[in-house]
Amino acid sequence: MTTEMHLPGPLDTEIASRRPAVEPRPPRELTLDDIEALALGAWILGTGGGGDPYNKLLNMRELYRQGRSVTLIDPLSLSDDALVAVLSNMGAPLVGQERLADAAFAVKPVRTMERYLGRAFDAVMSLEIGGGNGVHPLMVAALTGYPVVDADTMGRAYPEAQMTSVAVANLRCYPLTLADIRDNEVIIPRAESWRWMERISRKVCTEVGSIAATCKAPRTGREVKDHAILHTTTKAIDLGRAVMEARVRHRDPVQAILGACDGLTLFTGKVIDVDRRATEGFLRGQARIEGLDRDAGSLFTVHFQNEFSVGYRDGEPVVMTPDLICVVDSVSGDGIGTDVIRYGQRVTVLALPGPEVFMSERGLEAVGPRAFGFDLDFRSVFEGGRS
Amino acid sequence: MKRIGVDVGGTNTDAVLVDGADVLGAVKTATTEDVTSGVRTALRELAAQVGDAITGVGAVMIGTTHFVNAVVQRRHLNRAAALRICLPSCASLPPMVDWPQDLAALVDGGKYLVQGGHEYDGRPLMPLDEVAVAEAARQMRTDGVRSAAVTSVFSPLTAEFEERAAGILRAEHPDIQVTLSSTLGRIGLLERENVTILNACLADLANRTVKAFEEAIAESGIDAPLYITQNDGTVASAAIAREQPVFSFASGPTNSMRGAAFLSGIDDAMVLDVGGTTSDVGCLRAGFPREANNVVQVGGVRTLFRMPDLMSIGLGGGTIVQAEPFTVGPVSVGHRLTQDALVFGGDTLTLTDIAVAAGLADIGDRSRVATLSGSLVNRTVMDIHRRLFETVDRMKTDASEVPLLAVGGGAMLAPERMDGISEVVRVEHHAVANAVGAAIAQVSGEVDHVFRDMDRDELLRVAEDMARAKAVSAGADPSTLKVVDMEDLPLAYLPGRSVRARVRVVGDIGETQPGGITHG
């Protein structure tokens, strides 16, 4: 089947000259250890959402046992006209706990897109590095042999399609392919906007059981270089390694996270109440954390819409998206999801710097506090230097 | 109602007779290699101690670590076939994919993936492939595998396919014993399947052990039904426990914490249980153990069991002490304490000997530790007090002072005071707290279900009614039921205001015979 080609191109060709010339890193074959670290780091960068990467990690262990492997390439090494598949598993994490993750299933929408475009991809990359989708494209890479681009479009996890760096850059939002575990495939050749693409694809996803493998609007090498968030796979691997090493050496894993990501500790305490509700198809709510040690006597409230979005200390907003708000187990450093955070857990709330692209006016419009229903002007905890 | 509680631990087998709030008798005997002869001895000694009071016993409740030890030690396990109803999903992660290699190799009786399963809302994912199930059953029969674990996608919502598959397995292979995942676990296919397979490979041991317990009771002349205590401080009838041995995995620490609460009358406290080999620290809230947050590993296998949140260190009455170089544990003489310890005429220096030398206990022959150096005794006591304090402190969840209940055969090793602890409470019969916990175990009913298009109050009420009905059918006295856990979780992205609600109720055992214990 051949179809009219709709190869997306950059809307703003001047951008190409903005970035300084940097020598790309050579491609490298990821070890299984790298992938174990990636899963751990991605779960922390998921800021409470994106789903636990464990089942995808298990798939990678199986694929490596079968002798398959994954090569990670520097986005800066992509040729301008290279074609990159942007991949994600879409749906409710709870459904993923029953339907598991399946590498062959993740490949289906990639092949559908290639048939639709009449052209093969050159590489694959993550829609979001946070949560299970940080590992998702590696399953496709292991089966297809395509390299994985060391980049994503969120630098974390976010709930909706328009909350990406490529949407902020106003790149084309279509076409999109989506596959169900049965013999159902859907192509969305065109959509009015990123928000429309979100609405239509969400509807389809729900119909096939609230879980679907997707291949988002393909990107050219030029677009990836200019508008993706670069080197986030490596960042997640380094983060995971730092935590693993701290555990082995009996050092504090929470400090290791801060060190690896240049982050700040905002609060340490015990979860005393969790209020969750489903509104407009999302998991919304808040967790209240009672201070311990240095924070004794204070109360921290962290709000979430799938991911943690805004944090209040004693009623005052102190941290908000697009800064990353991570809630981790105070002892192990493991990320804690908004679907599993619960009474009695001893947690540390961290802030990690968010991607630069979201600090712009358009970026804040897409993922700032108002995009999540908070009438707050964004103020980064990292503003004005670090104390 | 009078009840006998028995705790079969790695070192000791204890038995108590409890009537209401009174402990009428208590004995401590050594655990035997075959387990059951120890139970027989304990019951005989208890009967001798209490005399006529033994008449009118309404129930014998046994708590045992036998099944969990079988998994941890890879002993007495039978092969089991894993049948998963899931295709075309889940194909790339076969059953036992994340198990330790040695355990998987030991119990693997074949893995079968067939078409079927359900969606999150109860619609079928695909029709059940009955022909494939029948073929799998015939292969199991050919292979001589007599236990099967059946797991279907979203079976906690609807068990229809698992039940149909069980019918086909039994029709094709009449000798087979079938474990259904929907009777054991919650959402989370791999972890639920893991538990189902563990249960299936304990089938033979569970049959033998429960039968032997029943024989031991009958031989003791006690005419009362047998119950086996569960992870959550409740009991299952012998018939149910035989089919669900995995639910007894964490009953030892649960019983000791519940027993400590009962004996002290304190419902909110830290509990330190010093046994023969290890010390366990847990936290009691409203008379029940605080549960662990996340995934719990049993013998290296991931599960989603509700288990007490415990921290264990290798310190107990049988822990071996060395003077040069100075070490305390983690090796213990275990059930050989009464032969190997100095005060019992042996030649191994244990913490029990140190406790006697330090005047903390008066057990065995005190003269045999008279020559121990005072500095070694002091140093050892300081070392164990520091380690016990650190463990208790790590388990505390807030800075305010709470009582510490010191129980177990080695409770004398606990310090008299600790920072952050209002008082260290020692109670009569503390050494048999776990058997007391078994005697006072309750009955539960639990639901874990996705509700659609109902408001929050309504769905929680419906869920609670379902849980109460389950508890009553399991033998609970309806007037004693209370909700111990209620949680609702709206499901992101799912339509129709889908909410997953989990409600658990517990109550005292009624006077009538239970019809069966259920778990959500």
Q: Which tens digit of pLDDT belongs to each residue from B297-335?
A: 888 899 887 788 888 888 999 999 999 899 998 888 877
Residues of chain A in Cβ contact (below 8 Å) with chain B: 55, 58-59, 62, 91-95, 97-105, 181-182, 202, 205-206, 209-210, 270, 276-278, 281-283, 290, 292, 296, 306, 329, 334, 339-340, 342, 344-346
pTM of the predicted model as reported, rounded to 2 decimal places: 0.86
Q: Which residues pair with B379 in a beta bridge?
A: none
A280 pLDDT tier (thresholds 50, 70, 90): low
pLDDT, tens digit, for every residue of A287-346? 999 898 899 899 999 999 889 999 999 999 999 999 999 999 888 898 999 878 877 778
Of the pLDDT bands very low, low, confident and very high (cuts 50, 70, 90), residue B41 is very high
Cα-Cα-Cα-Cα torsion B492, B494, B495, B500, nearest 10 degrees, comes to -80
For residue range A176-235, list pLDDT tens digits in order: 999 999 999 999 999 999 999 999 998 999 889 889 999 999 999 999 999 999 999 999
For residues A288-309, one letter each, b for 16 or more C-beta atoms within 10 angstroms of the residue's C-beta and e for the rest, the string is bbbbbeebeeebbbbbbbbbbb
The 10s digit of each residue's pLDDT in B83-129 is: 999 999 999 999 999 999 999 999 999 999 999 999 887 789 999 99
Mean pLDDT over the full length of chain B: 89
Instruction: Please give the angle made by the CA atoms of B14, B244 and A339, to the nearest 5 degrees.
Output: 105
| pLDDT at res. A13 | 41
Over pLDDT 90: what percentage of chain B?
A: 54
Q: How distant is the Cα of B88 from the closest Cα of chain A, in angstroms?
A: 6
Query: What pLDDT is attached to residue A387?
Result: 39
Give the tens place of pLDDT for each residue, B56-93.
898 899 999 889 888 988 889 999 999 999 999 999 99
All structural domains of chain B with their residue ranges: 78-201, 313-432, 442-519
A100 and B90: CB-CB below 8 Å? yes
Tokens 């670069």, residue located: A230
Pick from B397, B493, B500: CB nearest A270: B397
CATH of the domain spanning B78-201: 3.40.50
Alpha carbons within 13 angstroms on the beta-carbon side of residue B100 total 14
Query: Which CA distances in Å does B164 have to B60, B132, B161, B196, B201?
Result: 35, 13, 5, 17, 21
More confident: B296 or B520? B296
Q: What share of chain B is helix, strand, coil (3-state, %, to 5)?
A: 35, 30, 35
- Taking only the tens place, the pLDDT of each residue in B369-428 is 999 999 999 999 999 999 999 888 877 766 678 999 999 888 999 999 888 899 999 988
Query: How far apart, in Å, do the first and last CA atoms of chain A sit?
Result: 59
Mutation target for B interface from A58, A98, A272: give the one with most B CBs within 10 A: A98
Angle, in degrees to the nearest 10, between helices B130-143 and B160-172: 50
